[in-house]
Chain A
Amino acid sequence: MKSVSKKMKKALIIGIDGVPYSLLNAYIKKDVMPNLKKILSQGFRLHQMNASIPDISSVSWTSFNTGVNPGEHGIYGFTDLKPDSYSLCFPNLGDVKAPPFWDILGKKNPKTSTLSHTYHPRITHPHRSIIFNVPHTYPASPMNGILISGFVAIDLKKAIFPESVYPYLRSINYLIDVEAEKAKEDKGTFMQSLFECFDIRKKAISHFFADESWDLIFACITESDRLHHFFFDASVDEENPYYESFLRFYVELDKFVKDLYDQFIQRCAGKGFFMVLSDHGFAPVKKEVYLNRFLEEKGFLVLKKDGNFYERIEEGTKAFDMDPGRIYLHDRDRYPRGAVRKEERLNLLKEIKEALTSLKGEDGKKIIERIYEKEEIYHGPYSGVAPDLVCLPNDGYDLKGSLEKREIFGQNVFTGMHTWYDAFCLLPEEITFSNKPSIQNLTEFILQYYSE
């Protein structure tokens, strides 16, 4: 056992997937979350925060984990196409090009980034972390501490490091994720399983918190995101049959954060670093918007009848979309049937942007709020593979990359959609921002704490 030195630093980071700043704020004001309110009165501040672009968990959490831009960490979505092909692939932890903060602290990962260059020399000794259920950390790779991967982890044995945590997880019937497939069939049962899963998650976090040694613990709750996808309509509507359950989730969340916080304060004698954050917000869905169908109708996309997903892309295709609003030009030098020549790119981008901007909903309002060109938002050695355009929608219009739709607009079982602008973070009040923070800005505060 290490002797307890004065320099022993402890950090507790709680990630709550998909919790919107505005809802959290409302619930704090309405006293649904009295404990969080109390914590806020003890030297913390709640901020609204921007997620990554696009605002989906794999990209946003990776941006937080690495503290760098997607152009540097290389993750742009849950799906990508394999180089020089139309085959779908699913980027995972192995594809992240920059080291996560726990590897900078643990002095383990040979990968480097702008952040690791700065902080590697300042971190004087290796710190042990427990990283629990953080999305896009699968398959678990060796690190200094314990890693239990979150979404999309498939095989529990590959989702853990070291192997020795397996018997414990097995003993509590650990669940990697709630079975979202069930929601379609029976929302009531699904709600129940959400709470069961949340319980198991809390149990496991409390176990690792109490029974393991660590310098930093970063644990994510992902049930919140699932709750919002399927029940966001219940968040404010008292008539909704799931209103009570929705609220109960937040009440339990509030209590859980408090319990962990209290234990943490005790453990670090009030001197630790505490942070809570989400990776994106949520808003109610009005319509799903199938951008590939739109591109097809506008003549930018030509699809064959059969084939697997993007393998259906025909030669005449100028552009296609991948979830959620990532538009890729079908470049000649990048895709086997690529049609876009370099000299065409600028005009084509303009044309597509104009077309997308003209897309209106039934109420006549613009669907797409902003379209970014990759150079505007991505910086770093891996920005070359970034989408050429990324669309951010107005609330209510959930952009989708499905290739199977015959209409531009549709509806699904989901009642909530991700938002970019409405993630939150709860930070020590000494931390202030002159501009609205983005999720990747937070990482540095953790590293700063350990290098002081």
Chain B
Amino acid sequence: MDHLTRLENKSIYIIREAYYQFKDIAMLWSVGKDSTTLLWLCRKAFFGHIPFPIIHIDTSYKFPEMYRFRDERAKEWNLHLLIGRNEEKLLGGMGPDQGSKLDCCNELKTNALKMVIKKYNLKAILLGIRRDEHGIRAKERYFSPRDSQFKWDYENQPAELWDQYQSMVEEEEHFRIHPILHFTELDVWSYVKREGLPIVPLYFSKEGKRFRSIGCVPCCSPIDSNAQTIDEIVEEIRTSKTSERAGRAQDKENIYTMQKLRALGYM
């Protein structure tokens, strides 16, 4: 079995097991490459028809390309799409310039997701996070979805705490499942290529710049890159020494630093 197939098999196993265990489950889709890969794997796991809803948390600050991509795929793949928006805060003008970026993330992402989880009474969420992706995601616990026999001991699974969504874990008591945790950034791109997966065009170079990681417009910046095809992206990542989220890292780090300091009573 080749490397990518092995990764794929693991993921599909986890997705099916999660659905079997929880039923009231949904997948969180940011429209980025990782969760789109996860979405693709979910489709594969259930032969093209995903039996649970797909949540997109809409902060209203996403790139237009992302909205377009989301709506096209939702239609094409017949997704049961749930859009989560913190309407009250959006009406109040919440944005990265009102309050802090931390508040913005908290309200428009964390709380919006909380609302969706509550509204649909979800017991578990599938997330497209990867182990190698971001130090913050390595900060607390390394999720171990299975033991050496590849048995998924979901009851012993420590909650994976995902940056700004973390506080919700205890409050809402739902499981977070990470079927592509074992993929690396390079694996994702190799897989995207092998599967011919559609991907938001922001990842490809335009005028010497491309996004290596996408999210909300005010908080993302492109990297210098001439990679216009997946092959070129793969080559770039293979030789690159900078972190994937370099365009977002500082901002994210600052947000996280702020969060840490606030938890101890500063700021």
Known A323-B266, A400-B265: A179·B140 in contact at CB below 8 Å? yes
- Asked if B100 and A175 sit within 8 Å, CB to CB, the answer is no
| CB < 8 Å neighbour of B265 from A79, A175, A412 | A412
Asked whether A254 is an interface residue with its Cβ less than 8 Å from the other chain, the reply is no
Q: Are B257 and A154 in contact (CB under 8 A)?
A: yes
B261 touches A156 (CB 8 A): no
Decide yes or no: A189 and B260 within 8 Å by CB, A154-B136, A154-B139, A400-B265 being known contacts.
no
Q: Contacting B140 at CB < 8 Å: which of A152, A175, A185? A: A175
Closest residue on chain A to residue B249 by CB atoms: A155
User: 0/1 per residue, B230-267, Cβ < 8 Å to A?
Assistant: 00000000000001000001000110111111011111
Q: Are A170 and B138 in contact (CB under 8 A)?
A: yes
A309 touches which of B141, B249, B267 (Cβ 8 Å): B267
Selected interface stretch from B1-9, B166-174, B209-217: B166-174
Contact A152–B99 (Cβ < 8 Å): no
* Given known A156-B135, A156-B139, contact A414–B265 (CB-CB < 8 A): yes
B interface size (C-beta, 8 A)? 33
B266-A181 in contact (CB<8A): no
A79 touches B266 (CB 8 A): yes
Residues in A with CB closer than 8 Å to B258 are 88, 90
User: B263 near A154 (CB under 8 angstroms)?
Assistant: no
Give bound CA distance, A181 to B262, whole Å: 8
Contact with B along A388-403 (1 / 0, CB 8 A): 0000000000101110
Distance of A181 Cα from B170 Cα, bound (Å) = 11
Contacts of A308 in B (CB 8 A): 97, 99-101
Chain A residue contacts of B13, Cβ below 8 A: none
Interface size class of A (residues with CB under 8 A): 35 or more
CA distance A360 to B39 in the complex (A): 60
**Within 8 Å of chain B (Cβ to Cβ): is A435?**
no
* Contacts known (A181-B167, A323-B267, A402-B267); A155 close to B134, Cβ less than 8 A: yes
Interface residues of B (CB under 8 A from A): 97-101, 134-136, 138-142, 161, 166-167, 170-171, 243, 249, 253-254, 256-261, 263-267
- Which residues of A line the B interface, CB within 8 A? 78-79, 88-90, 151-152, 154-159, 170, 173, 175-177, 179-186, 189, 226, 229, 288, 306-309, 323-324, 398, 400-402, 412, 414
Partner of B263, one of A79, A181, A189, A288: A181
Q: In whole Å, how far is A419's beta carbon from the nearest beta carbon of chain B?
A: 15
Is B267 a contact of A179 with CB atoms below 8 Å?
Answer: no
Q: Taking A179-B161, A181-B167 as contacts, is the C-beta distance between A79 and B261 under 8 angstroms?
A: yes
Q: B167, A185: Cβ atoms under 8 Å?
A: yes
Contact at B257–A189, with CB atoms within 8 Å? no
Partner of B260, one of A180, A185, A288, A401: A180
User: Which residues on A sit within 8 Å (CB–CB) of B259?
Assistant: 181
Question: How far is A25 from B46 in the complex, measured between Cα atoms in Å?
Answer: 65
> Looking across the interface, which residue of chain B has its beta carbon closest to that of A160?
B135
Closest B-chain residue to A175, C-beta based? B140
A-B contacts, 28 of them at CB < 8 A, read A88-B258, A90-B257, A152-B260, A154-B253, A154-B256, A154-B260, A155-B134, A155-B249, A156-B135, A157-B135, A175-B139, A176-B139, A179-B140, A179-B161, A179-B263, A182-B170, A184-B263, A186-B170, A229-B265, A288-B265, A306-B97, A308-B99, A308-B100, A309-B267, A323-B266, A324-B266, A400-B265, A400-B266
Closest A residue to B103 by beta carbon equals A308
The interface residues of chain B lying within 8 Å CB-to-CB of A229 are 264-265
CB distance from A281 to the nearest CB of B (A): 16
Q: Given A78-B261, A186-B170 in contact, is the A309-B100 Cβ separation under 8 Å?
A: yes
Chain B residue at smallest Cβ distance from A176: B139
Please list the 3 inter-chain residue pairs (A to B) with the smallest Cβ-Cβ separation, ordered nearest first.
Answer: A155-B135, A180-B263, A181-B263
Minimum CB–CB distance from A219 to chain B (whole Å) comes to: 19
B142-A170 in contact (CB<8A): yes
Which listed residue, A156, A186, A309, touches B138 by the CB 8 Å rule?
A156
Residue of B nearest to A403 (CB): B267
Q: How far is the CB of A92 from chain B (nearest CB, A)?
A: 9
CA A58 to CA B224, docked complex, whole Å? 34
Specify the chain B residue showing the minimal Cβ separation from A171.
Answer: B142
CB <8 Å contact, A151 and B97: no
Contact A398 B265 (CB under 8 A): yes
A312 to B: closest C-beta gap in Å:
10
- Most chain A beta carbons < 10 A, residue from B101, B140, B170: B140
Once A157-B138, A308-B101 are accepted as A-B contacts, the answer to whether A180 and B170 lie under 8 Å apart by CB is no
Q: Please determine whether B265 and A179 come into contact, CB atoms closer than 8 angstroms.
A: no
Give the shortest distance, in Å, between B34 (CB) and chain A (any CB). Answer: 18
Q: Among B99, B101, B134, B171, point to the contact of A185 (Cβ < 8 A).
A: B171
Contact between chains at A155 and B267 (CB < 8 Å): no
Q: Are A155 and B100 in contact (CB under 8 A)?
A: no
Chain B residues with CB under 8 A of A309: 100, 267
Instruction: Report the minimal beta-carbon distance from A156 to chain B, rounded to whole angstroms.
Output: 5
**Shortest beta-carbon distance, B192 to chain A, in Å?**
24
How far apart sit A323 and B266, CA to CA, in the bound complex (Å)?
Answer: 6
Instruction: Give the distance in Å from the alpha carbon of A184 to the alpha carbon of B141 in the complex.
Output: 20
Question: Closest A-chain residue to B263, C-beta based?
Answer: A180
Question: Given A170-B142, A186-B170, A308-B101, are A152 and B265 neighbors across the interface (CB < 8 Å)?
Answer: no
Chain A nearest Cβ from B145, distance in angstroms: 14
Identify A79's interface contact among B135, B249, B253, B267, CB under 8 A: B267
Q: How distant is the Cα of A89 from the Cα of B254 in the complex, in angstroms?
A: 8
Alpha-carbon separation in the docked complex, A176 to B138 (Å):
10
Q: Measured between alpha carbons, how far is A324 from B167 in the docked complex, in Å?
A: 26
A306–B96 Cα distance when bound, in Å, is 11
- Distance between Cα atoms of A229 and B243 in the complex (Å): 34
